[in-house]
Amino acid sequence: MTAFELSALAIAALLAGFAFGRSRRPQARSEPVGSADERLSWALWGSGDGFWTWDIKSDELKSAGAETVLGFAREITVSGREWRDRFVHRDDIDRVGGALDQHVRGETEHFEAEYRLRDAKNSWVWIRARGRVVTRDPDGTPRTLAGIYRIAEQERADEAWRRTSEAVIRHMLEGVAVTDTSYHFVSANPAFLKLTGYANEELLAQPTMILDSSQHSAQFYQDVRRELEGRGAWSGEMWQRRRSGDDFLAWLQIAEVLNSEGKRTNFVAVIADVTDRKRAEHRLRYLAHYDALTGLPNRAFLRHRLRQRIESGGSTRFALAFLDLDRFKHINDSLGHAAGDELLRQAARRLTHVVGNKENIARFGGDEFTVMITGDVNSEVVENLCAEILDAFAGPLMVDGQEVAISPSIGIAYYPDQGRSIDDLLRNADAAMYDAKARGRNTYRVYSARLAEDASDRTRMESALRKSLDRDELRLVYQPKLSLRSGRITGAEALLRWRSAELGHVPPSKFIPMAEETGLILQLGEWALRQALSQARAWKDSGLPEIRIAVNVSSVQLTRGGYAEMVKNVLENMALSPGWLEIELTESALMVDPKRASATIADLRSLGVKVAIDDFGTGYSSLSYLRGLAIDTVKIDKSFVDGIEHNVDDEVLTSTIVLMAHSLGLSVVAEGVETEQQLRFLRGENCDEVQGYWLARPLEADACRTFVFDYRMPRGLVLAGS
Ligand code: C2E
Ligand code: MG
Ligand code: MG
């Protein structure tokens, strides 16, 4: 037997947990010593062996112990012929006879044979018989043979097992290799060779080191060896290098082989390539833990991470930022889901870019993301990161070849002060996020206990807002605009007011964002347009000269499409000339879906309706971008006007906007003009119109009508030359 076969046997036994050579323990007996015959039969009984003699001359065969071995009632005596005809299997006769003859002729030291014998139950049992010539005639001719026999099933089973295990090892999918105790290959099965890419002759006598991969440190392999030396066994995953230089992840079981004295002679290794399995496992784990669209950890994984964090970190502070993309639903509805998906992917990319470690981000669902902020978390660090995230979204995203603006609103909650459990933490970060939305979006808010009340306030407000139209709780007020060229009131902006039965007066800054978030703005916006134009109709009927009524439009209405069509219908219904209407839309509304916005603007313009960009300067659109749009007016945001007389930068910006707008053929309105100084500055910069408390607060319809009729510009403020 080769070393391989020997070791193979050992490992086969190891693998199958099969201990061969079931021990046959002689039963200890302590009876008084009897006759020689008795002693013999006891000994035989104890050992399970039988004893036979064959007298050649008389051809008489005696078998003692037949009761033990073959189940006969007592010992049997038969003639040689009878033995052959009745007891020995036909297929074995020649072999047994041949071996006997050989021995009798003096050609062998012993007679030894294995053959089938009929037992007391008439079934065949394999027995192994051994014996030799014990007496001879004076001339040396053999006269008597004697020997023992025993059931050979065990030996045969062992033999069969040996052959089977060799075949198994040879055909096993796992690689099996045997090394000596200094880790040099002694043998390997075909699977092992196939796995490692070596030919048998290339591998033999080589150190196992040739399979070491650089994916582990040298220390790792040393540790494995140290463990083998100590415990005699090692199992685990190990990267191995093929002959080609490729690495594969192996599942390895290494065990020592001991000789009969218990001394270690070899190691046997069973090796399986688990790279694919690992890959599949990894893929499964990935699918379970990561979001397929963005590749970010998903909600389940976030919860897992949070749990881990809370369990291992004790009360170590960390922050959870909850981020929601503003008005995403409407972009998704208007651009289509494929574009929506692309937008989410890009948003995820921006977020990852800022946060750095993808593992700390998660896509919580829909357009919601979370960021876990750990380490040295003071509020400055956390809020700086949130500010960076907002900055990262300042520029538009390219989706389907067009620019789309999207801003996030972020809520922050700290563990453990603002939530000891995962659910509390998430709920509070979410509440803070809603607060950020309520404060005009594109901002972050830190959770405070007050927000919990706000959350229920919000729910109350939403249900109240849904009823507001039916309950007739909405009205419009009108804030006049003054032309600095003519000194006349040229228009008025229609502004929504809501007096709720339950909540009292709610400012637009509170209910407009909520209406946009819930989609209610579609109804509210349409109502405002109809209401403003029916007011215009009434004013016209009462003899008021044509002024422009400015109606604010939300991005949600623009992205929905069909807006210009609706405007056209309402104008026709009221039989009003389009000169009565102006549409105000904010820069950010434009950028949500620039393609559709510019199409809508073009449609409105072709109806003869004027279009103004509201809150100009607070977004990031440039004037040259506006050049491509068919707009008429820009409204300089109140925040710049506020800076006049205080802030040189604001003054410079204001005059630049006026200059550039004029060079593009646009007229300029300054909003929120509160003081005469502001007015004088604006007049000096050639601003076209002003709106603000200096001129008038938003007025009830009747008061506005009177205001328009009666207005006279204070002397000394009229522009020279107009
Ligand atoms: P906006 O379109 O920029 O409207 C101008 C806001 O500035 C109005 O606030 C107005 O009352 C206020 N304002 C005007 N002059 C002054 C001033 O001199 N000083 C100060 N401090 N404020 C001044 P309001 O009415 O609270 O509306 C806030 C915003 O709500 C509006 O900003 C507009 O974006 C939105 N909004 C109002 N009505 C509607 C509407 O019918 N539809 C839509 N989509 N949005 C509306
Ligand atoms: Mg406005
Ligand atoms: Mg404005």
Of 12-21, 258-267, 462-471, 601-610, the least confident: 12-21
**487: in domain:** yes
Ligand showing the shortest atom-to-Cα distance for residue 508: 1
pLDDT, tens digit (0-9, with 9 covering 90-100), for 264-311: 988 989 888 888 877 777 777 777 888 989 999 999 999 999 998 888
CA 321 – ligand 3 centroid, Å: 30
CA 479 – ligand 2 centroid, Å: 10
**718: in domain:** no
Minimum CA distance residue for ligand 1 atom 33 = 552
* Ligand 1, residues at Cβ distance < 6 Å: 479, 495-496, 507-509, 512, 525, 528, 552-554, 584, 614-615, 671-674, 691-693, 698
CA distances from residue 170 to 12, 175, 256 in whole angstroms, order as listed: 11, 9, 20
Nearest ligand 1 atom to alpha carbon 521: 44
Cβ proximity of 608 and 578 under 8 Å: yes
Minimum CA distance residue for ligand 1 atom 25 = 495
Ligand showing the shortest atom-to-Cα distance for residue 558: 1
Residue 7 has pLDDT above 50, yes or no: no
Q: Which of 512, 590, 633, 693 to mutate to test the pocket of ligand 1 (most atoms within 8 A of CB)?
A: 512
pLDDT, tens digit (0-9, with 9 covering 90-100), for 134-182: 889 999 899 988 888 888 766 666 666 666 667 767 777 788 898 999 9
More confident residue, 80 or 533: 533
Confidence at residue 1, expressed as pLDDT on a 0 to 100 scale:
45
More confident residue, 63 or 314: 63
Minimum CA distance residue for ligand 1 atom 20 = 672
Confidence at residue 2, expressed as pLDDT on a 0 to 100 scale:
47
User: Are both 513 and 598 inside the same structural domain?
Assistant: yes
CATH assignment of the domain containing 271 = 3.30.450.20
**164: in domain:** no
Minimum CA distance residue for ligand 1 atom 23 = 672
Range of the domain at 347: 290-447
User: Are both 386 and 358 inside the same structural domain?
Assistant: yes
CATH assignment of the domain containing 339 = 3.30.70.270
Q: Which of 482, 552, 587 to mutate to test the pocket of ligand 1 (most atoms within 8 A of CB)?
A: 552
CA 614 – ligand 1 centroid, Å: 10
Burial code of 487-511, b = ≥16 C-beta within 10 A, e = fewer?
A: bebbbbbbbbbbebeebeebeeebb
Domain boundary among 447, 479, 501: 447
Residue 8 has pLDDT above 70, yes or no: no
Cβ proximity of 320 and 425 under 8 Å: yes
User: Are both 370 and 487 inside the same structural domain?
Assistant: no
The dihedral region occupied by 107, where left means phi > 0, alpha psi between -120 and 50, and beta the remainder, is: alpha
Angle at the Cα of 650 from the Cα atoms of 649 and 651, rounded to 5 degrees: 90
User: Are both 564 and 704 inside the same structural domain?
Assistant: yes
CA 493 – ligand 1 centroid, Å: 9
Of 165-174, 507-516, 678-687, the least confident: 165-174
The whole-chain average pLDDT of the chain stands at: 86
Confidence at residue 415, expressed as pLDDT on a 0 to 100 scale:
93
Question: Running DSSP on this structure, what letter comes out for residue 673?
Answer: -
Burial code of 28-58, b = ≥16 C-beta within 10 A, e = fewer?
A: eeeeeeeeeeeeebeebbeeebbbbbbebee
Q: Annotate 317-357 with three-state secondary structure.
A: CEEEEEEEECCHHHHHHHHCHHHHHHHHHHHHHHHHHHHCC
Give mean pLDDT, residues 524-539.
97
Confidence at residue 153, expressed as pLDDT on a 0 to 100 scale:
66
- 648's CB contacts (< 8 A; 6+ apart) are none
Q: Which residue has the tokens 């008795």?
A: 38
User: Are both 27 and 119 inside the same structural domain?
Assistant: yes
Percent of the chain's residues with pLDDT above 70:
89
Confidence at residue 47, expressed as pLDDT on a 0 to 100 scale:
60
Name the phi and psi angles at 626, rounded to 5: -65, -25
User: Are both 469 and 421 inside the same structural domain?
Assistant: no
Give mean pLDDT, residues 349-368.
92
Interatomic CA distance for residues 65 and 148, integer angstroms? 9
Confidence at residue 274, expressed as pLDDT on a 0 to 100 scale:
82
Confidence at residue 653, expressed as pLDDT on a 0 to 100 scale:
81
CA 495 – ligand 1 centroid, Å: 6
pTM, entire model: 0.52
CA 676 – ligand 3 centroid, Å: 20
Give mean pLDDT, residues 333-347.
89
Confidence at residue 35, expressed as pLDDT on a 0 to 100 scale:
57
Domain boundary among 383, 416, 447: 447
Interatomic CA distance for residues 487 and 714, integer angstroms? 9
Percent of the chain's residues with pLDDT above 90:
48
**362: in domain:** yes
**577: in domain:** yes
CA 491 – ligand 1 centroid, Å: 15
User: Are both 137 and 202 inside the same structural domain?
Assistant: no
User: Are both 526 and 580 inside the same structural domain?
Assistant: yes
Interatomic CA distance for residues 624 and 630, integer angstroms? 12
First to last CA, the chain: 118
Interatomic CA distance for residues 629 and 602, integer angstroms? 7
**721: in domain:** no
CA 460 – ligand 1 centroid, Å: 23
User: Are both 214 and 267 inside the same structural domain?
Assistant: yes
**Dihedral of CA 214/220/224/226: which sign?**
positive
Total count of domains within the chain: 4
Give mean pLDDT, residues 608-614.
95
Give the β-pairing of 50-55 and 60-64: antiparallel
Domain boundary among 279, 308, 335: 279
More confident residue, 623 or 70: 70
User: Are both 105 and 248 inside the same structural domain?
Assistant: no
Ligand showing the shortest atom-to-Cα distance for residue 616: 3
pLDDT, tens digit (0-9, with 9 covering 90-100), for 200-231: 999 999 999 999 998 888 889 999 999 999 99
pLDDT, tens digit (0-9, with 9 covering 90-100), for 429-449: 999 998 898 887 889 999 988
User: Are both 574 and 654 inside the same structural domain?
Assistant: yes
The secondary structure element, H or E, covering residue 247 is: strand 247-258
Confidence at residue 348, expressed as pLDDT on a 0 to 100 scale:
95
Cβ proximity of 488 and 482 under 8 Å: yes
**719: in domain:** no
Minimum CA distance residue for ligand 1 atom 10 = 698
Q: Which residues are registered as beta bridge partners of 250?
A: 238, 273
Nearest to 251 by CA among 269, 233, 241, 238: 238
Confidence at residue 149, expressed as pLDDT on a 0 to 100 scale:
86
CATH assignment of the domain containing 666 = 3.20.20.450
Interatomic CA distance for residues 277 and 655, integer angstroms? 68
Minimum CA distance residue for ligand 1 atom 30 = 508
Interatomic CA distance for residues 450 and 574, integer angstroms? 47
Ligand showing the shortest atom-to-Cα distance for residue 698: 1
Give mean pLDDT, residues 61-67.
82
Ligand showing the shortest atom-to-Cα distance for residue 589: 1
Mean pLDDT comparison of 114-123, 230-239, 539-548, highest-scoring range: 539-548
User: Are both 616 and 555 inside the same structural domain?
Assistant: yes
Burial code of 364-376, b = ≥16 C-beta within 10 A, e = fewer?
A: beebbbbbbbbee
**722: in domain:** no
Confidence at residue 587, expressed as pLDDT on a 0 to 100 scale:
81
CA distances from residue 447 to 416, 421, 429 in whole angstroms, order as listed: 12, 15, 6
